[in-house]
């Protein structure tokens, strides 16, 4: 056993189970169990089936030790079971708790809290967590200490899941649970109350959350600025102007700044306008003439200096009546002349707030959140491709200036402004290549930051780059900017999902496939929205095999489908064929398991996996993975991946020109 712990710790549970006859000393069994609990890293296993299999093996071992070994042989420690409660998946943690209960194992309060906290994190197991805490409260255990209050907060914090594949879990009655705990002497703190408000908002009960927040305030319970933000976000998601107006009253009983309230109402106008384009199923490009009316509201309370610094147009001129400058009017006019509901619903409420409430002498300094909303509104209001491209060049030059505004915007907004540029550019057939330039700017700074933090990796990248044919001017530019501070934010999963969606919309399947590989090289995990984007695209194209393949890979990496995945699947006309294919895959996996032929799967690779139809059926020959990759010599291919976006940013090339330069012979 000592040799196993030293040389192959991952096999400790298997060796322990194999050496139980005759029984080893109890202290030795316990020490090995604690070692297993401390080194159980299930999160590092990417494949969901492998992760569940490993958890099942550990649970089977624990069940054998608890149920079959004579009681008292193993000197159990409560903290060891607490470790297993934290490390095991929630389903196995629930099974372990049931095993301990059946064995009449006496659990300490802290151990029960560990199990309750684990179970409270999943909607399907909140009733089980509530049963544990209810039993503790009825026995007289206090729930007002820090650990208990944290568990109660986790229990009362609910987020609904739109699961379209399995039966919907019923909503957890947070108000009834809180009332029961308070009857047993529990006093909720501010964090717990904020969690309750958030749960109600996620369950679509924004009005009840507002009423409860005001009731808490009247009872003397202190509410913080987070409570207002939570309630207001729920009111905004309701898309009901009356509920939004009620939510503003919560600001009066919380220590939230007036500037924050104003920035929140500005974002609500933006949110209503953006949602209206989707609710009406308008066709691209989705330009919305919202900036000019929002600017007139903004200027009633905020100074224009910081916003003017970011924009090339004269704000005083935009605040004037239309007709003075026809060119400026055309820039922000809806080319289709559509009627917009937000102009008559949420915008008047925002105007009243900026006009009537919070009367102060002089103008206020806007926070970065307010300016960020206005910048996004400005971008979304531009309908002509030349105006969008011109503004990005101006915005890019501003980011490179040594001023306080770029750093503040980057800290507060992250990649949100760049994501908006990419979103708008990919809506125009003339600008999707420019969207790749925006991504290239972000990627270039991201790689520079990584090189600074990892010199060894930087030297490898330099060697790789040196083996490629690159223009001397590009090398000079790269060397000159190597030590400069990054001015562009790093791309996120949302950035790449927006770009992926835009490329698929424009029919650029080959580049979309390369974007998926870039996500892997940047260690950015595709999220549920990314998977849904791919599933919907292939379902609309009636590519049944690829749709089924994506659904299987989602399951393999542990991403749970939701309502939008289900709706995307419904786009397939021949759903019977898809279901038959899925059933055949399930049957094949079952036969493989029976035959004992299963092997640990590697992380699914949407691009380079030979069995994946996405790489074989949609990529042209010029976009296929480098032959060196197939031979295991993938460093040059990885460098080429990064080079495609980085060189485009440096040399301002189209994707085709950049790829040709990378592939040109020496």
Task: Give CA–CA dist 465/461, Å, rounded.
Answer: 6
Domain match, 642 and 500 both: yes
Answer yes or no: are the C-beta atoms of 152 and 181 closer than 8 Å. yes
Closest CA to 54 of 7, 2, 13: 13
Q: 385 burial class (0-12, 13-18, 19+ CB within 10 angstroms)? A: middle
> Residue 303: inside a domain, yes or no?
yes
Answer yes or no: are the C-beta atoms of 444 and 399 closer than 8 Å. no
Task: Give CA–CA dist 607/605, Å, rounded.
Answer: 5
Tokens standing for 632?
Answer: 């295991």
Segments forming the whole domain that contains residue 59: 1-107
Q: 333 burial class (0-12, 13-18, 19+ CB within 10 angstroms)? A: middle
Displacement of CA 519 from its chain's centroid (Å):
14
Task: Give CA–CA dist 422/379, Å, rounded.
Answer: 10
Domain end position, chosen among 348, 367, 383: 383
> Residue 308: inside a domain, yes or no?
yes
What is residue 250's DSSP assignment? G
For the chain, the helix, strand and coil percentages under 3-state DSSP, each to the nearest 5: 70, 0, 30
Displacement of CA 392 from its chain's centroid (Å):
26
Q: 15 burial class (0-12, 13-18, 19+ CB within 10 angstroms)? A: middle
Residue 514: in which H helix or E strand, if any?
helix 509-521
Domain match, 364 and 503 both: no
Closest CA to 520 of 435, 624, 605: 605
Domain match, 500 and 642 both: yes
Task: Give CA–CA dist 96/86, Å, rounded.
Answer: 12
Domain match, 374 and 520 both: no
> Residue 34: inside a domain, yes or no?
yes
> Residue 483: inside a domain, yes or no?
no
> Residue 69: inside a domain, yes or no?
yes
Answer yes or no: are the C-beta atoms of 614 and 606 closer than 8 Å. yes
Q: Answer positive or negative: Cα dihedral of 356, 361, 365, 371.
A: positive
| Total number of domains constituting the chain | 3
> Residue 180: inside a domain, yes or no?
no
In angstroms, how far is the first alpha carbon of the chain from the final one? Answer: 57
pLDDT score for 11: 85
**Who's near 348: CB < 8 A, 6+ residues apart?**
none
Domain match, 358 and 502 both: no
**Who's near 444: CB < 8 A, 6+ residues apart?**
481, 488, 645, 646, 649, 650
Q: What is the pTM of this model?
A: 0.77
The CA dihedral of 474, 476, 477, 478, to the nearest 10 degrees, is 90
Task: Give CA–CA dist 16/7, Å, rounded.
Answer: 15
DSSP character string of 601-659: PPPP-TTT-TT-HHHHHS--GGGSPPHHHHTT--HHHHHHHHHHHHHHHHHT--HHHHH
What is residue 302's DSSP assignment? B
> Residue 618: inside a domain, yes or no?
no
> Residue 127: inside a domain, yes or no?
no
- Give the start-end residues of each E strand in 278-375: none
Domain match, 379 and 513 both: no
Domain match, 501 and 642 both: yes
pLDDT score for 160: 63
Domain end position, chosen among 89, 107, 125: 107
Domain end position, chosen among 91, 107, 123: 107
**Residues lower than pLDDT 70 in the chain:** 160-171, 284, 323-324, 357-361, 448-484, 589-590, 592-666
Tokens standing for 420?
Answer: 């908006």
Task: Give CA–CA dist 115/315, Å, rounded.
Answer: 58
Task: Give CA–CA dist 160/388, Å, rounded.
Answer: 38
3-state SS assignment for residue 593: helix
Closest CA to 54 of 35, 38, 36: 36
């Amino acid at each position: 056993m000592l040799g196993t712990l030293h040389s192959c710790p991952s096999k400790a549970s298997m060796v322990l189970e194999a050496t139980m006859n005759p029984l080893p000393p109890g202290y030795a069994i316990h020490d090995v169990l604690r070692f297993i609990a401390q080194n159980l890293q299930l999160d590092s296993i990417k494949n969901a089936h492998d992760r569940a299999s490993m958890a099942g093996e550990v649970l089977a071992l624990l069940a054998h030790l608890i149920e079959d070994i004579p009681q008292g042989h193993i000197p159990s420690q409560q903290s060891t079971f607490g470790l297993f409660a934290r490390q095991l998946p929630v389903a196995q943690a629930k099974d372990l708790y049931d095993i301990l209960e059946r064995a009449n194992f006496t659990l300490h309060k802290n151990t029960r809290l560990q199990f309750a906290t684990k179970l409270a994190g999943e909607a399907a197991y909140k009733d089980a967590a509530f049963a544990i805490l209810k039993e503790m409260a009825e026995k007289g255990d206090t729930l007002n200490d820090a650990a208990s209050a944290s568990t109660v907060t986790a229990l009362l914090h609910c987020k609904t899941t739109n699961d379209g594949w399995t039966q919907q879990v019923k909503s957890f009655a947070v108000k009834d649970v809180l009332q029961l705990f308070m009857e047993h002497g529990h006093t909720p703190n501010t964090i717990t109350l904020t969690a309750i408000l958030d749960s109600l908002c996620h369950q679509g009960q924004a009005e009840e959350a507002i009423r409860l927040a005001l009731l808490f305030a009247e009872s003397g319970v202190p509410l913080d600025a987070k409570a207002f933000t939570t309630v207001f976000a729920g009111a905004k998601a309701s898309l009901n102007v009356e509920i939004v107006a009620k939510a503003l009253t919560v600001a009066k009983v919380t220590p939230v700044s007036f500037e924050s309230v104003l920035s929140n109402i500005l974002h609500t106008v933006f949110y209503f306008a953006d949602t209206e384009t989707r609710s009406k199923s308008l066709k691209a490009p989705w330009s919305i003439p919202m900036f000019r009316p929002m600017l007139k509201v903004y200027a009633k309370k905020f100074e224009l200096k910081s916003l003017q610094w970011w924009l090339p147009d004269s704000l005083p001129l935009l605040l004037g009546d239309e007709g003075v400058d026809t060119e400026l009017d055309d820039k922000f006019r809806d080319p289709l002349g559509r009627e917009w509901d937000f102009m008559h619903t949420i915008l008047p409420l925002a105007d009243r707030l900026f006009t009537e409430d919070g009367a102060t002498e002089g103008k206020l300094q806007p926070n970065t959140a307010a300016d960020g909303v206005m910048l996004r509104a400005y971008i979304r209001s531009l309908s002509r491709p030349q105006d969008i491209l011109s503004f990005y060049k101006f915005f890019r030059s501003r980011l490179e200036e040594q001023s306080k505004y770029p750093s503040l915007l980057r800290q507060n907004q992250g990649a949100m402004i760049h994501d908006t540029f990419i979103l708008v550019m990919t809506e125009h057939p003339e600008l999707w290549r420019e969207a790749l330039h925006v991504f290239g700017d972000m990627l270039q700074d991201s790689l520079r930051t990584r090189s600074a933090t990892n010199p060894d990796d930087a030297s490898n990248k330099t060697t790789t780059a040196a083996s490629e044919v690159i223009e001397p001017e590009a090398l000079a530019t790269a060397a000159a900017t190597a030590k400069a501070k990054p001015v562009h934010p790093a791309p996120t999963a949302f950035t790449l999902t927006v770009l992926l969606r835009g490329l698929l919309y424009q029919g650029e399947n080959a580049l979309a496939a390369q974007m998926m590989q870039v996500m892997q090289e940047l260690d950015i995990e595709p999220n549920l929205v990314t998977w849904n984007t791919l599933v919907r695209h292939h379902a609309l194209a009636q590519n049944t095999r690829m749709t089924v393949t994506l659904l299987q890979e989602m399951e393999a990496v542990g991403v749970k489908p939701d309502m939008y995945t289900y709706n995307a699947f419904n786009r397939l006309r021949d759903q019977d064929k898809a279901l038959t294919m899925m059933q055949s895959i399930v049957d094949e996996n079952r036969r493989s398991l029976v035959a004992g032929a299963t092997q640990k799967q590697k992380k699914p690779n949407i691009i380079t996996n030979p069995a994946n139809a996405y790489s074989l059926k949609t990529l042209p020959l010029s976009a296929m993975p480098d032959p060196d990759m197939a031979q295991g010599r993938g460093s040059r291919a990885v460098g080429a991946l990064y080079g495609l976006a980085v060189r485009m940013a440096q040399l301002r090339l189209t994707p085709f020109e950049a790829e040709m330069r990378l592939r040109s012979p020496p």
